Amino acid sequence: MSQPEVGPKRLDSRDPGFAAAFRALLEGLREEGTQVGAAVSSIISDVRTRGDDAVIDYTARFDRQTLTAETLRIPDAEIKAARKLATPETVAALELAAARIRAFHERQMPEDFSYTDAAGVGLGARWTSLGAAGLYVPGGKANYPSSVLMNAIPAKVAGVPRLVMVVPTPDGIVNPLVLVAAEISGVDEVYRIGGAQAVAALAYGTATITPVDKITGPGNAYVAEAKRQVFGVVGIDMIAGPSEILVVSDRDSDPSWIAADLLSQAEHDEAAQSILITDDADFATAVIAAVERHLSVLPREAIARASWTTHGAVILVPDLMDAVPLIDAIAPEHLELAVADPDALAARVRNAGAIFMGRHTPEAIGDYVAGPNHVLPTSRSARFSSGLSVYDFLKRTTMVRCDAQSIREIGPAAVTLAEAEGLGAHALSVALRLQQ
Ligand SMILES: NC(=O)c1ccc[n+]([C@@H]2O[C@H](COP(=O)([O-])OP(=O)(O)OC[C@H]3O[C@@H](n4cnc5c(N)ncnc54)[C@H](O)[C@@H]3O)[C@@H](O)[C@H]2O)c1
Ligand SMILES: N[C@H](CO)Cc1c[nH]c[nH+]1
Ligand SMILES: [Zn+2]
């Protein structure tokens, strides 16, 4: 295919230069390193030393908001009052989304197990929730109430007793829908702070904010770097990169639908990536033309256009099954299969954060109301990780129970292994119990 001067990259898997062009495309999916490490580490150490005072100073500097220790937290009355600032349809839509997300995540709850083996040893594993989870909600360019539901509901379903949300409110402006979503999903405390200082406060605590056990949620480069730096003190979910969508479509899809699907992720971020794989060159051309038509009516046209023209790609393959190795290499955050038999393709795909099956399942339905989580692995990390779930808010503890008889059955082998490792106290602690 010929390359247009501006627009998505066009690749054909039959071209001799395809392998190199595809490698370059994958390179573009790699998370870019950030240059904010030193600034973030100084903010974190300041919050550890000066607590609330440091958080208040950074909030004044970056969010142009004057707070005191007493006003860091958004009062429950203000959160309840937010409902009156939202339209009834929006609240109803959030409630429908919450119910569907809750129902899906309830199905993920794993079961404890226990049994007694042939040697008479009692064995098992039980799940317990984290004690406290911190949810970061971005407050600058993107401020999504749907992401509040997606982070908070799995934690609630897992049984986390304390859920703490932080959201920067630049110039004091709060998005009421974010507060409504927090209330619907059962968030216990909300603080009007953001950036690395909020992450540090959640991880280390201040006089006002009791520390949490794990921090989840997306954010800008400062937030992502802060999460990296506090990992180990607390758990984190993932470092989320820009959104991605990969659509595989045959010629029978409506080009206008597919164009809108590609733009649905392009409009998130200039760095988002939207890729179409198809087996029909005319269809590819029709989708590119439809993208142009849609772009001009989008409220976030500039962002979507920048993303599509710099990171968009259309790949032509001779047969749709030839898409499978490309999908696995891209390991997309979202994979849409707009083909006649999505099951046949899906069965062969190993790497994808979430799969949307068939022409009537746009990715955007999953962003809001389908039920599965929309916090998904990006930057090819679907090769080794999964989307946010109740498992992120649970941990497993194993249990062992020997009695005088069963320890005599398995203990001698433990003594042998301890001696082989030169660990005398290990050997002794078992051997003493064999002499009863
Ligand atoms: N993957 C997802 O699901 C998803 C969802 C929503 C948002 N996002 C991403 O989250 C990001 C949100 O970023 P945002 O900026 O809009 O909001 P944000 O809340 O992440 O960042 C705002 C904070 O950044 C800090 N900050 C800004 N400039 C700073 C500086 N010079 N030095 C130190 N700290 C500074 C401030 O403390 C401010 O409160 C975007 O990149 C967006 O794409 C991703
Ligand atoms: N698609 C985004 C995650 O990649 C999530 C989102 C929030 N609102 C709309 N979409
Ligand atoms: Zn989205």
The residue-averaged pLDDT of 373-397 equals 96
Cβ-Cβ contacts under 8 Å for 180 (sequence gap 6 or more): 82, 83, 86, 90, 91, 94, 145
pLDDT level of residue 34 (50, 70, 90 thresholds): low
Report whether pLDDT(273) > 60.
Answer: yes
Q: In this model, does residue 146 exceed pLDDT 80? A: yes
Contact 317, 323 (CB under 8 A): yes
**Measured torsion, CA atoms of residues 30, 31, 34, 40, in degrees rounded to the nearest 10:** -160
- pLDDT value at residue 139: 86
Mean pLDDT value of segment 299-316: 96
Say whether pTM exceeds 0.90: yes
Q: Say whether 336 is catalytic.
A: no
| Identical fold between 9-30+242-383 and 37-236 | yes
* Mean pLDDT along residues 270-290: 97
Q: Flag whether 360 is marked binding.
A: no
Tokens encoding 313: 């790609």
pLDDT tens-digit series, residues 390-419:
999 999 999 999 999 999 999 999 999 999
pLDDT at 272 over 70: yes
Q: How confident is the model at residue 33 (pLDDT cuts 50, 70, 90)?
A: low
**Number of the ligand 2 atom closest to the C-alpha atom of 147:** 7
> How do residues 231-246 score in pLDDT, each as one tens digit?
999 999 988 888 999 9
Whether the predicted pLDDT of 29 surpasses 80? no
CATH of domain 37-236: 3.40.50.1980
Residue 258 has what pLDDT?
98
What residue ranges do the domains of the chain occupy? 9-30+242-383, 37-236, 402-434
| DSSP secondary structure letters along 75-94 | PHHHHHHGGGGS-HHHHHHH
pLDDT bucket at 173, cuts 50 / 70 / 90: very high
Q: Is the pLDDT of residue 3 over 70?
A: no
Mark whether 311 is an active-site residue.
no
Q: Is residue 61's pLDDT more than 50?
A: yes
Of 374, 375, 376, 378, the one to substitute when testing ligand 2's pocket (max ligand atoms within 8 A of C-beta) is 374
d(CA 332, CA 103): 25
pLDDT at 239: 87
Is there an atom of ligand 2 within 6 Å of 378 CB?
no
Ligand 1 surroundings by CB, under 6 angstroms:
39, 62-63, 138-142, 144, 147, 168, 194-196, 218-220, 222-223, 240, 243, 268-269, 375
DSSP secondary structure letters along 39-68: HHHHHHHHHHHHTHHHHHHHHHHHH-----
Pocket test for ligand 2, best of 101, 137, 147 (most atoms within 8 A of CB): 147
**pLDDT of amino acid 286:** 98
- What percent of the chain stands above pLDDT 70? 97
pLDDT at 230: 98
pLDDT confidence of residue 436: 74
HEC-encoded secondary structure of 137-174: CCCCCCCCHHHHHHHHHHHHHHCCCEEEEECCCHHHCC
The alpha carbons of the chain give a radius of gyration, in whole angstroms, of 26
Distance 192 CA to ligand 1 centre (A): 14
With CA atoms as reference, report the closest residue to 166 among 106, 215, 213, 95: 215
Q: Is 426 annotated as a binding residue?
A: yes
Q: What is the mean pLDDT of residues 48-69?
A: 97
Q: Is 192 in the pocket of ligand 2 (CB under 6 A)?
A: no
Mean pLDDT, all residues of the chain: 95
Distance separating alpha carbons of residues 22 and 327, to the nearest angstrom: 11
**Each residue of 159-169: pLDDT tens digit?**
999 999 999 99
- CA dist 151 and 78 (Å) reads 21
Judge contact between 7 and 312, C-beta under 8 A: yes
The answer to whether the beta carbons of residues 326 and 13 sit under 8 Å apart is yes
CA–centroid distance, 107 to ligand 2, in Å, is: 22
The DSSP symbol for 74 reads: P
Ligand 2 close to Cβ of residue 274 (< 6 A) = no
What pLDDT, on a 0 to 100 scale, did the predictor assign at position 1?
45
Structure confidence at residue 35 (pLDDT): 80
How many C-beta atoms lie closer than 10 Å to residue 58's C-beta?
21
CA angle in degrees (0–180, nearest 5) for 426-432-436: 150
Q: Write the residue with the smallest CA distance to atom 27 of ligand 1.
A: 62
Residue 32, pLDDT > 70, answer: no
Distance 236 CA to ligand 3 centre (A): 21
* pLDDT level of residue 30 (50, 70, 90 thresholds): low
Q: What is the Cα–Cα distance from 424 to 308, expressed in whole angstroms?
A: 65
63-77: average pLDDT: 97
Q: What's the confidence (pLDDT) of residue 31?
A: 58
The model's pLDDT over 193-215, given as tens digits with 9 standing for 90+, comes to 999 999 999 999 999 999 999 99
Of 23-27, 76-80, 321-325, 428-432, which range is least confident?
23-27
The closest residue, in CA terms, to atom 1 on ligand 2 is 367
Most ligand 2 atoms within 8 A of CB, residue of 178, 243, 303 to mutate: 243
Contact 181, 174 (CB under 8 A): no
User: How much is the pLDDT for 4?
Assistant: 46
Question: Domain 9-30+242-383 adopts which CATH fold?
Answer: Rossmann fold (3.40.50)
